[in-house]
Amino acid sequence: MQDRLEKIVSLCKRRGFIFPSSEIYGGLAAVYDYGPLGVELKRNVQQRWWQAMVYEHDNIVGLDAAILMHPTVWKASGHVDAFNDPLIDDRQSKRRYRADQLIEDYIEKLRAKGETERAEALHRRLIEALNAADMPKALYQIILDERIPSPDSGAFDWTEVRQFNLMFVTHVGPVVSEETKVYLRPETAQGIFVNFHNVKDAARLQIPFGIAQIGKAFRNEIVARQFIFRMREFEQMEMQYFVKPGTQMEAFEAWKEKRLQWHIENGIRPEHLRFHVHEKLAHYADAAVDIQYLFPMGWQEVEGIHSRTDYDLRRHQEFSGKRMEYFDPQTQEHYIPYVVETSVGLDRTILMLLCEAYDEEEVEGETRVVLRLHPRLAPITVAVLPLVRKDGMPERAQAILRDLQPFVHTFYDEKGAIGRRYRRMDEVGTPFCVTIDSQTLEDGTVTVRDRDTMLQERIAEAQLLNYLQDRLRHWKLVRAL
Ligand code: ATP
């Protein structure tokens, strides 16, 4: 399965989806750049999220807050004190691990070996440790008691478990001092909370309403791994939904379902998605669930849905001295709203989409690699291909290309054998290839080749755009057997 991930990483590099950052200098760990096709995929995912969250809800509006914020924001939010990972070092290999993940992986191994009872008992102990007042110590004790060895070196030579803050620090202005210290935001949510009144008043919103935002977040992750799954610079798509206290569970349940549905509509098979209830609630939450996807490396979180209570607004009220209350015109009450958050990683969604879409099949004795991406997410929607580079076919193809360009993302290719050109398009997930051949010159029809079935249909040139738009609207994946 890991092999599948390697193939995806290599395809991403080769075809211009994702490159390691600063590659000519050896790269920068857990930082990546999106290439020409990657950036299209990313924009399409953003667009579909924005469409579903903002345009299809008349009580949700957008925001684009700055990455740098007043440092007190992160004191109020709890990130300065509590945004920590428990870490442990293997003295022999000098490798560093997250203590809770080390124990989780160990539990998985016990389960795989059929030692279910022991695994369950340890699992219960892990949950207790995660909620303990001295969490690092409790985790360390488990590692000692179970004699959990280092996964890489096999040694049992651990340091103690220590906490490490994940925020990146920089300074504003020319002086580097405690007073000029600011953070790169570790989540986009706080930009929404501090703008609560600005947005509500400007957009004349009444509760319940939501504020949505897409933007960069930064975390100095210790164990950065698995390609774009865990990055140090990444992008989040977050929505904070403000509700009347007491109605948060209703909103929480509704958003859980809506967000799961969004992933399914993007072409993720329902059996590859599941809800995972949090074992340890964050200090601010009264309910939390993850949407997990079955990645090649196992079930992992893609999105979090959190009922954050009034924690954030209340803390900002305390730290800023500004009232964060809402006045309800119907009931004439003042209250601090409760918040339900949906927070999905854009990059992690992209990795999920690539893992879901990647397929290999035997066609005429050769392996065909195909990305079965939803056509609205695919980086290129239509490739326009003259069968040969003569007899006026390229000119005719160019004319068709110009007609399509204002409506769909197109790509033009006239080089090489047609079969090879189709394969190149399959590999990057292009759902439709339009081919201009000698019959086009006679009767004005073109062929449209379908990526998934490889079947071709003849369509009149004048009908082409309508035909494509119709197919985009009613897409359903036909998988190869
Ligand atoms: P994890 O447990 O994987 O560290 P988290 O629970 O800390 O994630 P949240 O703070 O809930 O994550 O962030 C919401 C979403 O942002 C996650 O579901 C994930 O998709 C994304 N995300 C978080 N950290 C990273 C990262 N380092 N790289 C890429 N995406 C991330």
Q: What are the pLDDT digits (tens) for 440-474?
A: 999 999 999 999 999 999 999 999 999 999 999 88
**Residue 301 marked as a ligand binder:** yes
Whether a cis peptide bond, with omega within 30° of 0, leads into 149 is no
Q: Measuring CA to CA, how many Å separate 254 from each of 146, 237, 261, 340, 342? A: 41, 18, 11, 10, 11
Scanning 131-237, the segments in alpha helix (DSSP H) are 135-145, 189-194, 196-203
Query: What is the structure's pLDDT at 1?
Result: 57
- Residue 125 in contact with ligand 1 by CB distance below 6 A: no
pLDDT band per the 50, 70, 90 thresholds, residue 2: low
The CA distance from 9 to 14, in Å, is 9
Could you report the per-residue pLDDT of 191-204, keeping only the tens digit for each?
999 999 999 999 99
56 appears as a binding residue in the annotation:
no
Nearest CA to ligand 1 atom 2: 301
Known binding residue 225? Answer is no
Q: Which atom of ligand 1 is nearest to the CA of 221?
A: 27
**pLDDT score at 481:** 39
115 is in an annotated binding site: no
**Would the annotation count 393 as a binding residue?**
no
- Across 166-185, average pLDDT: 93
CA of 266 from ligand 1 middle (Å) equals 20
CA neighbor of 320 nearest in space, from 180, 167, 177, 196:
196
For the Cβ of 215 lying below 6 angstroms from any atom of ligand 1, the answer is no
- Pocket mutation for ligand 1, best pick of 77, 164, 236, 312 (most atoms within 8 Å of C-beta): 236
- For residues 88 and 143, give the distance between their C-alpha atoms in angstroms, rounded to a whole number: 10
Phi and psi (nearest 5°) for 469?
A: -65, -35
Reported confidence tier of residue 388, pLDDT bands at 50, 70, 90: very high
Q: Give distance in angstroms: CA of 287 to centre of ligand 1.
A: 17
Give the pLDDT confidence score for residue 479 in this predicted structure: 61
Domains defined along the chain, listed by start: 2-72+168-353 (3.30.930.10), 84-165 (3.30.40.230), 380-473 (3.40.50.800)
Q: In ligand 1, which atom is closest to the CA atom of 236? A: 16
Residue 233 CB–ligand 1 contact under 6 Å:
no
Per-residue pLDDT tens for 10-58? Answer: 999 999 999 999 999 999 999 999 999 999 999 999 999 999 999 999 9
CA distance to 47, 78, 407, per residue, from 42 (Å): 9, 31, 18
pLDDT digit string (tens) for 252-268?
A: 999 999 999 999 999 99
Q: Which of 336, 257, 337, 334 lies closest to 303, judged by CA?
A: 257
Distance 217 CA to ligand 1 centre (A): 10
Instruction: Give residue-wise pLDDT tens across range 230-240.
Output: 999 999 999 99
Cα of 345 vs centre of ligand 1, distance in Å, is 6
The answer to whether 320 is annotated as binding is no
Kindly state if the Cβ of 346 falls inside 6 Å of ligand 1.
no
pLDDT at position 133 is: 80
Q: Is 285 in the pocket of ligand 1 (CB under 6 A)?
A: no
Helices (H), 166-275: 189-194, 196-203, 248-265
Find all residues with CB under 8 Å of 425, minimum gap 6, and list them. Answer: 380, 383, 411, 433, 451
- 25-44: b (≥16 Cβ within 10 Å) or e: eeeeebbbebbebbebbbeb
446 burial type by CB count under 10 A (0-12 exposed, 13-18 middle, 19+ buried): buried
In this prediction, residue 285 carries a pLDDT of: 84
- 169 annotated binding-site participant: no
Q: Across all residues in the chain, what is the average pLDDT?
A: 94
Q: Is 104 in the pocket of ligand 1 (CB under 6 A)?
A: no
Q: Is 343 within any annotated ligand binding site?
A: yes
Distance 274 CA to ligand 1 centre (A): 16
Residue with tokens 């989806």: 17
pLDDT tens readout for residues 315-342: 999 999 999 999 999 899 999 999 999 9
Tell me, using a 6 A CB cutoff, whether residue 263 lines ligand 1.
no
pLDDT bucket at 132, cuts 50 / 70 / 90: confident
Tell me the pairing of strands 84-89 and 162-165: antiparallel
Mutation to probe ligand 1, out of 255, 256, 301 (largest number of atoms < 8 A from CB): 301
